[in-house]
Amino acid sequence: MTDQRPELGVKQEGPVLRLRLQRPDRRNAMTREMLAQLVDQVEGASEREEVRVIVLSGEGEHFCSGMDLIAVNAESKKKPRVGDIQRRLPRGANRLIQAMLHAQIPIVCAVRGWASGLGCHLALASDFVIASRRARFSEPFVARGFTPDSGATYLLARVVGLVRARRMLLLGEEVSGEQAADWGLVHEAVEDEALEAATEEITRRLAESATFALGLTKWLMHRSLDLDLADALSNEALALELSARSRDFKEGLAAFAKKRPPRYEGR
C-alpha cells in the first residue's frame, strides 16, 4: 500500500522554506491536519537558523478557498457540544495567523485563483503577497450567514481601511488581484505567467537581507499597532541595541565604507 500524498508540501531550499497547499481538487481548502502542520512549520522555522524566508503557495489554479467545512464536519461522528468553535479556533486557524504575524522571518505568499476566507487571511498575515491580476480575494462569511474568523476583522481593516473592509466583510464584494494591488492589500499584481518569477525575485531579496534586523523590524511594526508612541520608541531602542551587535550590522557598515553590496549571512 502506497502512502497518500501529503496535503502540505514542505521543502527546504537553502535559506528558503517552501510551504505548499496540495489539495487542488478542493481548491486547496484547509483541513484541521493541514492547519496543525502549518502551525508546526511556521513556529518551528523561527528556531531553525538556516531558514531566512518562508514562501507560502497553493498547487493548481487556486491558492486557498478557506476551511473545508465539509471535511471538518465529516470528522465529527456526532453533533459537537455548545462552545466547540470557541474552544477549537485558538488551537487552529487563530494560532496559525498569530504564528505568521509573530514569526521574525519574512513570509512571502503567492496567490492565483481564489483566496477566500482563511485563504484571504493567510495572505493578509503574510509580509509580501504577489498575486495574479485575475486572483480573487473574498470574505464570504456574512453572505453564508455567519461571522468572520481567523483575524478577518482585525487584519483587513488595518490593511485596507474600514471603508474598504466593510465592502468585503459586510457586502461580500470580491476583489481582483489588480484591485487588491490598488488597495494595498497585496504587494504586487502580475500576469499569471509572471507570478512565479515575481515571487522568486522578492524571495531572493529577502533571503539575502540582514535577517536579524529584518525580523526585529517586522516585530516592531506589528507591536506598534497596539502601543502608544512612548512604548513604540522604547521598543525601537531595544531592537537597535540588539541589531547593532549582529554580524550583519558589521557587514553592512563594512560594505557601505567600501562602496560594495553587502553579503549578509543572517547572523
- Predicted local distance difference test score (pLDDT) of residue 239: 93
Higher pLDDT, 1 or 135: 135
| Mean pLDDT within 118-140 | 97
Give CA–CA dist 61/25, Å, rounded: 10
Are 63 and 28 spatial neighbours (Cβ–Cβ below 8 Å)?
yes
Give CA–CA dist 211/217, Å, rounded: 10
| Domains located in the chain, CATH noted | 8-207 (3.90.226.10), 211-258 (1.10.12)
How long, in residues, is the chain? 267
Cα dihedral: 208, 211, 213, 217 (round 10):
100
Q: Is the pLDDT of residue 2 over 50?
A: no
Give CA–CA dist 38/141, Å, rounded: 23
Q: Is the pLDDT of residue 21 over 90?
A: yes
pTM of the full structure: 0.90
**Per-residue pLDDT band at 146 (split at 50, 70, 90):** confident
Give 88-126 pLDDT, tens digit per residue.
555 678 899 999 999 999 999 999 999 999 999 999 999
Are 45 and 105 spatial neighbours (Cβ–Cβ below 8 Å)?
yes
| Mean pLDDT within 186-190 | 97
| Mean pLDDT within 34-63 | 95
